[in-house]
């Protein structure tokens, strides 16, 4: 009679335990004073008022994945940055409400136990959490051989932040005509549009991750796997420099591009006018556009086009906000302004 075991079904518990032993140190280095140690616990503990007293705290949460950018990482055999992307996609959404990131949890699903791969993935998450100032509080690793082909994996994340209720940055209640729009540069494609990117770069053009892109001075793998910027420090700087009350809205530019994401934080009867000549689209985007003969409208509908975050601020705060949002590598720009519009729905137009 055939004898079955978990290992014969594709899950090696000893190898799984070996993988788990690699993770505590990566979590520990992200811990903040709010983390309450609970070795072996079924859930993580976080003390809300460990660093400051909140008067009327509101928890702000966000969850996301990395999408098919994972397929690029697998194709390139490079897994050290995809975890940063995961943290960024969750944290940046929470920042749009003016929240301070508190903690992060990750979920990794794999076809089989691969301790070294798991460690590399979680190391990237740990780096992202350090950039965000969030504690990696826990996570889950699922080994599912019948769900994923050999070598495949998926990742998802969950971020929790906090903000004073009176300090929530809710564009629908704050944005007003005359507000200045500030564009904060992205670091590339971030983590959106990769189904189109992969179809053009790998299927249509036949390029490989190691091929060099002369126009960009880097390899295909380097260009596509540049991690998503995490804007946590930047948002805190701009709030400190300009004052919370004068930051009226923040939009994270992800799938749907500038127009769709900016519209999400605008109230009725408001039009955001963006001057198309206010920033230079990074060469990565025209390279892809030309490679795949993609229409300009489609590029703007799918990609961030070099703008990762947009802030609407009071005119009196514009200069301070631009300075706080700028780094030497990524200078912020004045994109345009907010205008009154008779239409019921909010809109975004380019001039």
65-103 residue pLDDT tens: 999 999 999 999 999 999 999 999 999 999 999 999 999
The pLDDT score that the predictor gives to residue 312 is 98
Looking up tokens 């959490």, which residue turns up? 129
Tokens 């729009």 map to which residue?
181
Share of the chain above pLDDT 90, in %: 87
As a whole number, the mean pLDDT across the chain is 95
Which fold would CATH assign to domain 171-350?
Answer: Phosphoribosyl-aminoimidazole Synthetase; Chain A, domain 2 (3.90.650)
Q: pTM here?
A: 0.96
b/e 19-56 (16+ beta carbons within 10 angstroms → b): beeebeebbeebbbebbeeeeeeeebebeeeeeeeeee
Separation CA 147–CA 86 (nearest Å) = 21
Instruction: Provide the pLDDT for residue 171.
Output: 85
For residue 13, name the pLDDT band (cuts at 50, 70, 90). confident
Residue 21 has pLDDT above 90, yes or no: no
Mean pLDDT of 139-160: 94
User: What pLDDT digit, counting tens, does each position of 119-137 carry?
Assistant: 999 999 999 999 999 999 9
Instruction: Locate the DSSP E strands across the chain.
Output: 35-36, 45-46, 57-65, 100-110, 135-143, 153-164, 180-185, 212-213, 218-219, 247-252, 270-274, 307-313, 333-340, 347-350
Q: Domain residues of the chain, as ranges?
A: 13-37+55-167, 171-350
What CATH number should be reported for the domain whose range is 13-37+55-167? 3.30.1330.10
């Amino acid at each position: 009679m055939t004898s079955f075991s978990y290992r014969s079904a594709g899950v090696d518990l000893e190898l799984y335990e070996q993988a788990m032993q690699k993770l505590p140190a990566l979590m520990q280095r992200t811990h903040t004073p709010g983390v309450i140690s609970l070795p072996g616990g079924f859930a993580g503990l976080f003390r809300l008022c460990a660093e400051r007293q909140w008067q009327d705290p509101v928890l702000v949460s966000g969850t996301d994945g990395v999408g098919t950018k994972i397929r690029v990482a697998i194709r390139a055999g490079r897994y050290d940055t995809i975890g940063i992307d995961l943290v960024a996609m969750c944290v940046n959404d929470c920042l749009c409400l003016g929240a301070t990131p508190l903690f992060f949890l990750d979920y990794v699903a794999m076809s089989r136990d691969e301790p070294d791969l798991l460690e590399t993935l979680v190391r990237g998450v740990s780096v992202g959490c350090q950039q965000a100032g969030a504690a990696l509080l826990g996570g889950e690793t699922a080994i599912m051989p019948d769900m994923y082909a050999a070598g495949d994996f998926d990742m998802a994340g969950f971020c929790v932040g906090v903000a004073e209720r009176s300090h929530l940055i809710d564009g629908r209640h704050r944005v007003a005509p005359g507000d200045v729009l500030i564009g904060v540069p992205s670091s590339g494609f971030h983590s959106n549009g990769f189904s189109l990117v992969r179809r053009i770069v790998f299927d249509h053009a036949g390029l490989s991750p190691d091929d060099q892109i002369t126009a960009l001075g880097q390899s295909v793998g380097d260009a596509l796997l540049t991690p998503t910027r995490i804007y946590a420090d930047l948002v805190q700087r701009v709030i400190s420099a300009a004052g919370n009350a004068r930051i009226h809205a923040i939009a994270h530019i992800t799938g749907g591009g500038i127009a769709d994401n900016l519209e999400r934080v605008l109230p009725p009867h408001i039009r955001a006018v963006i001057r198309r000549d206010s920033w230079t689209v990074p060469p990565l985007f025209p390279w892809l556009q030309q490679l795949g003969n993609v229409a300009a409208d489609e590029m703007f509908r799918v990609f961030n086009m070099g703008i990762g975050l947009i802030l609407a601020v009071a005119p009196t705060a514009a200069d301070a906000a631009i300075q706080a949002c700028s780094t030497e590598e990524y200078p912020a720009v004045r994109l345009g302004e907010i205008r009154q519009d008779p239409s019921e729905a909010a809109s975004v137009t380019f001039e």
